A and B are shown apart, each in its own frame.
Chain A
Amino acid sequence: MNDLSAQNVPEARGNAATVVTTKMTARHVNVYYGAKQALKDVSIDVSQENVTAFIGPSGCGKSTFLRCMNRMNDTVASARVEGEIKLDGDDIYKSGMDVVQLRARVGMVFQKPNPFPKSIYDNVAYGPRIHGLAKAKADLDNIVEGSLRRAGLWDEAKDRLGESGTAMSGGQQQRLCIARAIAVDPEVILMDEPCSALDPIATAKIEELIDELRGRYAIVIVTHNMQQAARVSQKTAFFHLGTMVEYGDTSMIFTNPSEPRTKDYITGRYG
């Protein structure tokens, strides 16, 4: 007999979870590159349960904001960040914050797959090694296998772990980068246009992976592909000219956005 009790009813894939754990919060964030203001007064909560997508035209500030979330903008000399960004209630810009530790907790996947020119195994083992997460070779093997499995790459990689990561296809390289991010057991994964260099099949695999990782990690994805945002996210934020115009359930943003600027952008009437 079928068990129809509530806990066995799978959650609808596309719906935003309403009971959420807030993982990161941003309040009144302003970012300047020299004299130019790139981001104006952005406030947002990012939850563990829902994938959050940032959309908007080029130069709207979405990638800038994503980079603030693990202090990647520290590497840009002219960049200045004001406001408050917290991870589990801790201000990540406070003095004494260990940025290396922060980036282990808030991992990042970039537009162009960027595996190290090392073996597949070493690519994944790199983070755990420098963070001292594995005591013995066997521990490290476990982490590498587990990370590759979660990244959906184990079956393709298990017989070639010694080969160079750069010898893989673009889609495989991107999943290797996700495996590398996962290997240090992060809490948040930031993805900056992770599929823009990939073909549709490799893109679909990444999207399926995002769906599988949802809930385990808080995931934020920047994408230029509106359909991708609609497919993978439950929450969407629309950025325009440095401000966050609208933030809401993906199901509403793409069927009935409340801001005219959002509507014009997603229906292809922008500018």
Chain B
Amino acid sequence: MSDMNPSHTVKSFDNDIHQLRSLITQMGGLCEAQILAAVEALMRRDADAAMQVVATDARIDALEAEAEELAIQIIARRAPLADDLREIVAALKISSVLERIGDYAKNIAKRASALALSAPVQPMVIIPEMARVVASMVKDVLDAFVDRDAEAAYEVCQRDAGVDDFYSSLFHSLLTFMMENPQHITPSAHLLFIAKNLERIGDHATNAGEMVYYSATGRRMTERPRGDDTAFATAAPAVAA
């Protein structure tokens, strides 16, 4: 289901929309790269690379401002309707979602530079795979946005349950790890936040998927199951098991 729309009679309207899509795509590409680079820096215990990720986040923020400005200009000057209107509102919301995802990547990088100085945390091995999943969600949801592909957007949202499973599993491992030795607590707390950041990125990619779905179809995506149960977990029974 790709973009089947004929062009607008006013050609510059098409140019505006292409430019907006291009800004959102650039933001998405940067976010994807930032997530992977932050986790790479974490695994390599490379504080310099981590600080590079922190610095790059400003580019995402600048692109968000540019996308927002363009979207407002289009609304003011073109008075978009129907699928044009839905796409521009979706672009506006997705740009702020991407900005937030960039912040999470930046936060992971900050914690990576702190973790580079402490003892290794064994449960960390699960992080790269989790990062790959959420980065691919970000990439695929933006492909779906550009293609106006509701099915692809729905498929991205379905993957969020897997991310929640990763997080639950890491949460329980880290609880055990911290119980073993109080010296593990500081790095484990950092790692828990890193995992939480990745889990939130998955949620945001899911929100973006819902917006793409609405933009493409004019309907809201139906309810989907959730897999994160850690909000209800207590330490004692999980460790005893």
Cβ of A256: which chain B residues have Cβ within 8 Å of it?
A: 82, 86, 218-219
Chain B count of residues within 8 A CB distance of the other chain: 17
Question: 8 Å CB contacts to B: which residues of A219-251?
Answer: 226-227, 230
Min CB distance B230 to A, Å, is: 38
Cβ of B218: which chain A residues have Cβ within 8 Å of it?
A: 255-256
A230→B81 contact, CB < 8 A: yes
Complex Cα–Cα for A267 and B81 (A): 6
Judge if A257 is at the interface, Cβ distance under 8 Å: yes
A268→B82 contact, CB < 8 A: no
Given contacts A255-B86, A256-B86, A256-B218, contact A226 B9 (CB under 8 A): no
A227→B79 contact, CB < 8 A: yes
Min CB distance A255 to B, Å, is: 6
Counting chain A residues whose Cβ lies within 8 A of the other chain, the interface size class is 10 to 19
Cβ of A41: which chain B residues have Cβ within 8 Å of it?
A: none
Complex Cα–Cα for A263 and B81 (A): 8
Complex Cα–Cα for A230 and B79 (A): 11
Cβ of B80: which chain A residues have Cβ within 8 Å of it?
A: 267
Dominant SS among interface residues on chain B: loop
Complex Cα–Cα for A228 and B85 (A): 16
Question: 8 Å CB contacts to A: which residues of B171-198?
Answer: none
Judge if B140 is at the interface, Cβ distance under 8 Å: no
**Cβ contact of A263, chosen from B7, B9, B83, cutoff 8 A:** B83
Closest to A266 in B: B81
Min CB distance A256 to B, Å, is: 3
Given contacts A255-B86, A256-B218, contact A269 B8 (CB under 8 A): yes
Given contacts A255-B218, A256-B218, contact A266 B82 (CB under 8 A): yes
Question: 8 Å CB contacts to A: which residues of B1-15?
Answer: 5-10, 13
Cβ of A268: which chain B residues have Cβ within 8 Å of it?
A: 8-10, 13
Cβ of A269: which chain B residues have Cβ within 8 Å of it?
A: 5-9
B83→A267 contact, CB < 8 A: yes
Min CB distance A262 to B, Å, is: 8
Judge if B46 is at the interface, Cβ distance under 8 Å: no
Question: 8 Å CB contacts to A: which residues of B92-118?
Answer: none
Judge if A254 is at the interface, Cβ distance under 8 Å: yes
9 more contacts with CB within 8 A, not counting A263-B82, A264-B5, are A226-B79, A230-B81, A254-B85, A255-B85, A255-B218, A256-B86, A267-B8, A268-B9, A268-B10
Binding site for A on B (CB under 8 A): 5-10, 13, 79-86, 218-219
Can you report 20 residue pairs joining A to B where beta carbons are below 8 Å apart?
A: A227-B79, A230-B81, A254-B81, A254-B85, A255-B81, A255-B85, A256-B82, A256-B86, A262-B82, A264-B5, A264-B6, A266-B81, A267-B8, A267-B81, A267-B82, A267-B83, A269-B7, A269-B9, A270-B9, A271-B9
Top-4 shortest CB links A-B: A256-B218, A266-B81, A268-B8, A267-B84
